[in-house]
Structure 1
Amino acid sequence: MPATVRPATLADAPAITELLNAVDLIEIGRPETDLHTVEADLKHPEADLERDSWLAFESDRLVAYGLLWDESGGERIDVDHYVLPDHQEAGFAVLGLMEARALEKARDNGADRAVVHLHLNVRPTTDLARLRDRGWQDVRRYHVLRRPLDPAADVSPALPDGVRIRPCAGEDDRRLVHRLYQTTFARHFDFQPRAYEAWLADIDADGLDWSLVWIAATDDLGDAGFLMSRNDREAMGWIRSIGVVPEARGRGLGGLLLRQAFGAFAALGRDTVGLGVDTSNATGAPELYRRHGMTVHYAVDTWETVLG
């Protein structure tokens, strides 16, 4: 019996979370998806759920989920796709609908093709041979890293002369973090420039504890780096992003910001902290994280297809 496919609604968030955690359990050994994360995706102001989300059911059981979004306003389109391993027909039915919508979306943007990206665990529930047969290829690898925390050893770092770290205190600081983010990530793979309000939606700013966002400054350069973290993941404290402007790199600001986050999470009673990193990052970030005791939890590949 073919799957029944329909758009998602916010009311489907618990069922989607259950599906994603079932996939997590298979791929990484434990569930790590939180309901509020799924809800944030579904509530994003740019999300057109009627046209850009898909749920596939077999005998009333949710077996596949897809979500499409467009941050580029051009040819680059992103999709999320999850499927239970024994329901590949339903999963690829959803993927086919996503591909068709991605091309339509890119053409609506004035592009003549769609360059579509999808992130998958390196050992996913999706049939990779079948994915390759559809013209997809893996183009980039990311690692999710984690580190245990020790409240006795992980404390806020002593700062060298001429360096200051402060929490993000208000609207002016939030706009500053946005500018630093846009500057420090501008040359990263898959970076899409985002205006301030769109960026706030991307990071689920309403659910963010801004006291866990820090800005680093030096006497000679002024505000030169930031670290954004969040404490609303059940599995671990999470460092969402860290950036230092090019002219300040090599001066230890990244390590100081990391240790600031480690100390804060340890003080909050967290026993683990994690983050994600592009393994081909040219700024030295993977080595920085290794030196600070972070090890690989699991790996994710970016898959790409070009449609048109």
Structure 2
Amino acid sequence: MPYLLRPAALTDAPAVTELLNEIDRIEIGRPETDLHTVEADLKHPEADLAQDSWLAFDDGRLVAYALVWDDSQGERIDADHYVLPDHQRAGELLLEALEGRALERARANGAARAVVHLHLNAAPTTDLAMLRGRGWSVVRRYHVLEREVRAGADLPPRPPSGVRVHACADEADRARVHALYQTTFAEHFDFQPRGYEQWLHDVDGDRIDWSLVWIVTVEGIGDAGFLLARDDREAMGWIRSLGVVREARGRGIGGLLLGHAFAAFAARGRKTVGLGVDTANATGAPRLYARNGMSVHYAVDTWEITVA
């Protein structure tokens, strides 16, 4: 029987979440996808679900899902793609669709080609031979790290002289965090500049607890770093991003921010805190996280294809 393909709708979020958690169990041994995360993806302002999303069904069962969105307004297009192991043909059909749509999006931006990025577990359910046969290749590896925390043991560290840490309290502070993010992540691989409203959508600003977002101010420098964490993942507390401006690096700012996050999550009764890091990060982030007790949970690869 051929697969039934159709676009996704926001009402499909529960079914997509169930599919992704089934894939999580295969790839990392436990479900770690939350419904609100899938809903945020399906509501992405740079994705038109009618044209940029695909679901594949086998006899009524959802077996594959894909989504394309355009943050760059140029040739760089992003995609998600998930497929159950026994349904690789469905996965290939969705890859064909997303590659073609990515080129349409890039050409609409005035580009002659699309450079598409896709993140997959390092040992994914997707057939890697099929992926490579279509011209995809790995261009980067990320690690998802985790650390156990414990109330009473993980306490907020005391800032050194001339350094102040405070939680994000109002709209002005949110704007400061956005500015720090744009500055500190500009040199990172695959960084896409984002306006304030775009960034608020990216971090799901309507849902996160802003008391878990901290700004560090250093005497003589001013705003020197930030950490944005969130406590809406069922599996663990999550540190979404941490950045320190170049002139303040090497002063322990990153470790100070991590300590505040670990303490806050421990006080809330969390047992584990996680984050993702580029293994080729040039700022020394992997070493920072290792020094602060974080270890590898699993690896994720960035796959790339150029479609012209």
Equivalent residues in 2 for 1:17-166, closer than 5 Å: 17-166=17-166
3-state SS of paired residue (2:206): helix
5+ residue gaps, structure 1, are: none
Q: TM-score, normalised by structure 1?
A: 0.99
Q: What's the offset of the Cα at 1:84?
A: 0.2
Alignment size in residue pairs: 308
Q: What's the offset of the Cα at 1:42?
A: 1.0
In structure 2, the partner of 1:214 is 214
Letter in 2 for 1:233: R
Q: What's the offset of the Cα at 1:45?
A: 2.6
Say if 2:290 is the partner of 1:290.
yes
Q: Which moved more, 1:38-47 or 1:165-174?
A: 38-47
In structure 2, the partner of 1:247 is 247
**What do the CA deviations read for 1:56-80 (whole angstroms, capped 9, x no partner)?**
0010000000011111000000000
**What do the CA deviations read for 1:81-115 (whole angstroms, capped 9, x no partner)?**
00000000011101100000000100000000000
Say if 2:231 is the partner of 1:231.
yes
**What do the CA deviations read for 1:218-268 (whole angstroms, capped 9, x no partner)?**
111111100000000000000000000001000100000000000000000
In structure 2, the partner of 1:277 is 277
**What do the CA deviations read for 1:107-138 (whole angstroms, capped 9, x no partner)?**
00000000000000010000001100000000
CA RMSD, Structure 1 to Structure 2 (Å): 0.6
Matched-pair contact (CA < 8 Å) for 2:180–2:225: yes
**What do the CA deviations read for 1:138-194 (whole angstroms, capped 9, x no partner)?**
010000000000112101101111010000011111011000000000010000000
Letter in 1 for 2:67: L
Q: In 2, distance between residues paired with 1:159 and 1:180?
A: 19
Matched-pair contact (CA < 8 Å) for 2:8–2:53: yes
3-state SS of paired residue (1:155): coil
Matched-pair contact (CA < 8 Å) for 2:46–2:71: no
Letter in 2 for 1:255: G
Q: In 2, distance between residues paired with 1:198 and 1:150?
A: 35
Letter in 2 for 1:18: E
3-state SS of paired residue (2:57): strand
**What do the CA deviations read for 1:8-39 (whole angstroms, capped 9, x no partner)?**
00110000000000000000000000001001
Q: In 2, distance between residues paired with 1:58 and 1:150?
A: 45
Say if 2:11 is the partner of 1:11.
yes
3-state SS of paired residue (1:207): coil
Q: In 2, distance between residues paired with 1:224 and 1:41?
A: 30
Letter in 1 for 2:180: L
Q: In 1, distance between residues paired with 2:235 and 2:130?
A: 32
Letter in 2 for 1:232: D
Q: In 1, distance between residues paired with 2:120 and 2:40?
A: 20
3-state SS of paired residue (1:117): strand
Identity %: 71
3-state SS of paired residue (2:82): strand
Matched-pair contact (CA < 8 Å) for 2:44–2:69: no
Q: TM-score, normalised by structure 2?
A: 0.99
Q: In 2, distance between residues paired with 1:113 and 1:130?
A: 22
3-state SS of paired residue (1:254): helix
Q: In 2, distance between residues paired with 1:296 and 1:149?
A: 15
Q: In 2, distance between residues paired with 1:44 and 1:86?
A: 29
In structure 2, the partner of 1:262 is 262
Which stretches of structure 1, 4 residues or longer, exceed 4 Å deviation after superposition?
A: none
Letter in 2 for 1:287: R
